[in-house]
Chains A and B, each alone.
Chain A
Amino acid sequence: MSPPPLRIIGTSSTLTAELCRAARQDLPFPIEFEILDGPSCMRRGVLKPESYDVYDQWFYSLDVLWTAGAIQAIDTTRIRRWPQVRIAGQIPGSAAKQVGAPSAQLFVRHDGTLAERPDDHAPPRIGMLPTTYNADSFGYARELLSELAPDETESWAWLLDDRWHGRCTLSLDPAGSAVELALAARAAGLVDVRDPGNLTIEEIDALFQVLLSLKRRGHFTRFWGTSEDSVALMAGANAVIGSLWSPAYYALRGMGRDIIHGAPREGYRGWHSGLCLSANVTGAMRDAAYAYLNWWLDGTPGAIMARQGYYVSVVDTLRETLSQAEWDYWYEGKPASEDLPGLASTIAVRRGETREGGNYLNRVARITAWSTVMPEHNYLARRWREFLEL
């Protein structure tokens, strides 16, 4: 009889077909992947820790899962490459100026709270193992360039711009979309927002007054639930601009669509993913879970993530799994010296193309806000439902 599988839940951003295949090939135990959309995954993570062994999602779910008692601390002495781990390019626990949300609550302190720094005099324990991350923006069809003013630069304000009325698409998940729309409304001079990642009740109300009015006038086309949906939308005739994750952008490029990935002057929206251990996993299954966590930092997953535009927390191992040309394009921001493969053996990048925004440290340095479950999330979520249902 085969042993029970290691059960992993996550979203399609990280649990791609390539990644699942590689994990099953490289690891000596059976693995069961379950792919959910973002909000369902988080709900499941919180409510049913007995239904998974490893949770793979965004950092903003960390304190929610931790508070709910759904996950257990990760012993960093069991993470082989822990000393090489960087959160968005920064050493965990260092005074990292550009790193905001993801590292703020990484460590588990002796009193059971989450903190930015580890306890002294003890091997650090963490709530979530940092894995992959990116600096996100929006994509737009090249044809829009003809409508721009001569000195106009890319801006989040474009998401709300009347020039492409009815043709803007956004993600259904408010954790990213609300931040993007706050950036957009601020950039367009429509709403005063102090911190797009921590909106006050008044800011939320002001923002939604603008958004509801835009939606009533038909400014937005359909919203997307998964990255694949966004590809279909942007590949069709209805959307010419929209929030777009890297894999979707490179998939569209692979399909030959002439889409530009924006490097907005206000900065990027960042996100960071990681892995958690269910509070319920013990014994041999926990050993398998640690093996899976370690595998993530070994180079193979990093290369798979890189080919869809994501960075990983341990880069040293990528030298063996990415070609020099791939490393130069994805991480160094240099022009591609040859055609580069994307997912599913398409060509994602043509020779001579350069990634928007420069090398990975430059792009990360320009992250101005992170996807988040902000303190007023329940109020925001209610206004968001109202906005979607309108």
Chain B
Amino acid sequence: MAETRIPERNELASELEDPPRIGASAFLYESVFGLLQRKIASGAMPTGAVLKEAAVAIHLNVSRAPVRRALAMLAERGLLRPADGQGYVVGEAIPRPLSARELHDILAEATEDISRSATWERIFSRVSGEVTALLPFGTYRIQEAELGDHHAVSRTVAREVLWRLMDVRLIEKDRKSHWIAAQMTARVVRDTLEMRRVLEPQALANVAPLLERSWLEDLARRIEAAVARFPACGAAEIDAIEKDMFGTMYAGLRNTRMLGSIRRNQVALIVPRLFRRHFPVRDDLPSLVAYGQIVRLLCAEALEAAQILLRTQIERSEPLVLARLRVLSILPPPATQPYMIAVH
């Protein structure tokens, strides 16, 4: 076969960068920005202090790129001003270079915090996308050290990422303590949909009083617009709607155990999402119509009807998800990442 509609490895992975949300800021520069903003606000970082990219990067133990971006953002917000030579000056006061010792004392306590949590967050979404893209095609072993090398992070950080992926059931540990991304089978689809039928109607009841009316109305309008334009609404819009329907919708659940179970059982949502990347949007209309009805019922505070419709919708989606998984199963498997090894 000369060419296919299968995207290349990287394309496939980046298209799928839409992992279950963990934590707030996913980017290192945001963490650096937040940290410096707090230090300035509290006065720990005095006005007049000259901040240079390289020095801050060294003391925070991160690379220069995120620091550059964080400094630029602080300057945009008026917290810093460009210095005459290099770097920025805090506030309006007369520039005063800080000694390495001073800078260290101001930033040191935060180092541990930033360099670890933010780094795993930074690569989590990419790794999650890379792993997810391969799930329909086989079972893979993930090598911790190679994962670290591939994404230029320490093995500790790589392990942190893998633990997080295990939290959302994208991977597991086998008896030999290897990290395994197990193949998405028809059974996984059926079992997780069964769990969702049990869990999500209850979750809907729990969060319904907390959902903002304006958010619901807005979502309903978006769904109706997609229905009206279908299939011209496009795959990305359907993905976004499903993310709101099944992700954002439950984000306010106080029962974090229930929320965790729901997240873990939503793994089959990647099947339609992957499918829509490769094939024309055609069979998603009945689902969209049902989503619209569910949200309208929530707007009208007809909770029981919304629950019934949600349960029915999850049930009805099964044949199509299975049929789509079967289609994916005959495609040539995409190339693996260097840190993933196909396991028979």
Query: A69 contacts which chain B residues (CB < 8 A)?
Result: 279-280, 282
As a 0/1 sequence over residues 186 to 210 of chain B, the CB contacts with chain A under 8 angstroms (1 = contact) are: 1100000000000000000000000
Tally of contacts, chain A with chain B, CB under 8 A: 81
- Separation of A385 and B332 alpha carbons in the complex (Å): 12
Query: B282 contacts which chain A residues (CB < 8 A)?
Result: 69, 112
Is the beta-carbon distance between B344 and A378 smaller than 8 angstroms?
Answer: no
Query: B3 contacts which chain A residues (CB < 8 A)?
Result: 48
Is the beta-carbon distance between A377 and B279 smaller than 8 angstroms?
Answer: no
Is the beta-carbon distance between A47 and B4 smaller than 8 angstroms?
Answer: yes
Tell me if A46 counts as interface (CB < 8 A to partner B): yes
Candidates A200, A373, A376, A383; contact of B330 at CB < 8 Å: A373
Min CB distance A71 to B, Å, is: 12
Min CB distance B289 to A, Å, is: 11
- Separation of A373 and B6 alpha carbons in the complex (Å): 21
Min CB distance A277 to B, Å, is: 16
- Separation of A323 and B106 alpha carbons in the complex (Å): 99
| CB contact list, B1-53 vs A, under 8 A | 1, 3-6
- Separation of A64 and B5 alpha carbons in the complex (Å): 16
Query: B136 contacts which chain A residues (CB < 8 A)?
Result: 378
Nearest to B137 among chain A residues (CB) is: A378
Candidates B137, B183, B322, B327; contact of A68 at CB < 8 Å: B327
Nearest to A212 among chain B residues (CB) is: B344
Is the beta-carbon distance between A386 and B344 smaller than 8 angstroms?
Answer: yes
Nearest to A70 among chain B residues (CB) is: B279
Nearest to A61 among chain B residues (CB) is: B330
Candidates A43, A383, A389; contact of B332 at CB < 8 Å: A43
Query: B5 contacts which chain A residues (CB < 8 A)?
Result: 47-48
Query: A42 contacts which chain B residues (CB < 8 A)?
Result: 330
Query: B328 contacts which chain A residues (CB < 8 A)?
Result: 378
Is the beta-carbon distance between A378 and B326 smaller than 8 angstroms?
Answer: yes
As a 0/1 sequence over residues 124 to 141 of chain B, the CB contacts with chain A under 8 angstroms (1 = contact) are: 000000000000111100
**Most chain B CB within a 10 A radius of its CB, from A39, A68, A378:** A378
Candidates A39, A67, A377; contact of B283 at CB < 8 Å: A67
**Chain B interface residue count, Cβ-Cβ cutoff 8 angstroms:** 33
- Separation of A42 and B327 alpha carbons in the complex (Å): 10
Is the beta-carbon distance between B326 and A43 smaller than 8 angstroms?
Answer: no
Is the beta-carbon distance between A377 and B286 smaller than 8 angstroms?
Answer: no
Candidates A43, A67, A389; contact of B331 at CB < 8 Å: A43
Is the beta-carbon distance between B1 and A40 smaller than 8 angstroms?
Answer: yes
Candidates B183, B278, B280; contact of A378 at CB < 8 Å: B183
Query: A389 contacts which chain B residues (CB < 8 A)?
Result: 344
| CB contact list, A366-390 vs B, under 8 A | 373, 375-379, 381-383, 385-386, 389
Query: A40 contacts which chain B residues (CB < 8 A)?
Result: 1
- Separation of A111 and B319 alpha carbons in the complex (Å): 14
Tell me if A201 counts as interface (CB < 8 A to partner B): yes
Tell me if A116 counts as interface (CB < 8 A to partner B): no
Candidates A48, A200, A376, A383; contact of B4 at CB < 8 Å: A48
- Separation of A43 and B136 alpha carbons in the complex (Å): 16
- Separation of A378 and B321 alpha carbons in the complex (Å): 13
Tell me if B261 counts as interface (CB < 8 A to partner A): no
Is the beta-carbon distance between B330 and A377 smaller than 8 angstroms?
Answer: yes
Min CB distance A188 to B, Å, is: 24
Is the beta-carbon distance between A377 and B332 smaller than 8 angstroms?
Answer: no
Is the beta-carbon distance between A64 and B283 smaller than 8 angstroms?
Answer: no
Candidates A67, A112, A200, A379; contact of B183 at CB < 8 Å: A379
As a 0/1 sequence over residues 304 to 344 of chain B, the CB contacts with chain A under 8 angstroms (1 = contact) are: 00000000000000001011111111111000000000001
- Separation of A69 and B329 alpha carbons in the complex (Å): 16
Tell me if B287 counts as interface (CB < 8 A to partner A): no
As a 0/1 sequence over residues 110 to 132 of chain A, the CB contacts with chain B under 8 angstroms (1 = contact) are: 01100000000000000000000
Min CB distance B318 to A, Å, is: 11
Is the beta-carbon distance between A67 and B185 smaller than 8 angstroms?
Answer: no
Query: A44 contacts which chain B residues (CB < 8 A)?
Result: 1
Tell me if A63 counts as interface (CB < 8 A to partner B): yes
| CB contact list, B142-183 vs A, under 8 A | 183
Nearest to A376 among chain B residues (CB) is: B186
Min CB distance A347 to B, Å, is: 39
- Separation of A127 and B122 alpha carbons in the complex (Å): 47
A43-B331, A47-B6, A201-B185 are known contacts. Are A375 and B326 too (CB-CB below 8 A)?
Answer: yes
As a 0/1 sequence over residues 42 to 76 of chain A, the CB contacts with chain B under 8 angstroms (1 = contact) are: 11101110000000000000011001110000000
Min CB distance B335 to A, Å, is: 16
Is the beta-carbon distance between A382 and B326 smaller than 8 angstroms?
Answer: no
Min CB distance A129 to B, Å, is: 21
Min CB distance B176 to A, Å, is: 18
- Separation of A95 and B143 alpha carbons in the complex (Å): 54
A40-B1, A68-B279, A375-B186 are known contacts. Are A47 and B323 too (CB-CB below 8 A)?
Answer: no
Nearest to A198 among chain B residues (CB) is: B186
| CB contact list, B80-106 vs A, under 8 A | none
- Separation of A389 and B6 alpha carbons in the complex (Å): 24
Min CB distance B325 to A, Å, is: 7
- Separation of A220 and B344 alpha carbons in the complex (Å): 20
Min CB distance A189 to B, Å, is: 26
Query: A63 contacts which chain B residues (CB < 8 A)?
Result: 323, 326
Is the beta-carbon distance between A383 and B1 smaller than 8 angstroms?
Answer: no
- Separation of A277 and B322 alpha carbons in the complex (Å): 24
Min CB distance B5 to A, Å, is: 5
- Separation of A389 and B138 alpha carbons in the complex (Å): 15
| CB contact list, A86-116 vs B, under 8 A | 111-112
| CB contact list, B277-301 vs A, under 8 A | 278-280, 282-283, 286
Min CB distance B6 to A, Å, is: 7
Candidates A200, A377, A385; contact of B326 at CB < 8 Å: A377
Is the beta-carbon distance between B1 and A64 smaller than 8 angstroms?
Answer: no
| CB contact list, A161-208 vs B, under 8 A | 200-201
- Separation of A386 and B332 alpha carbons in the complex (Å): 15
> 5 smallest A-B Cβ distances: which pairs?
A378-B329, A386-B344, A375-B186, A67-B323, A69-B280
Would you list 14 pairs from A and B whose C-beta atoms are within 8 A, ordered by A residue? A47-B4, A48-B1, A64-B323, A67-B283, A67-B323, A68-B327, A112-B283, A200-B187, A201-B187, A376-B187, A377-B326, A378-B183, A378-B186, A389-B344
Which residues in A have some Cβ–Cβ distance to B below 8 Å?
39-40, 42-44, 46-48, 63-64, 67-69, 111-112, 200-201, 373, 375-379, 381-383, 385-386, 389
Task: List 15 additional contacts besides A43-B331, A47-B1, A378-B325; criterion CB under 8 Å.
Answer: A40-B1, A47-B5, A63-B323, A63-B326, A67-B324, A69-B279, A111-B286, A376-B185, A378-B184, A378-B185, A378-B186, A378-B329, A379-B185, A382-B344, A383-B344
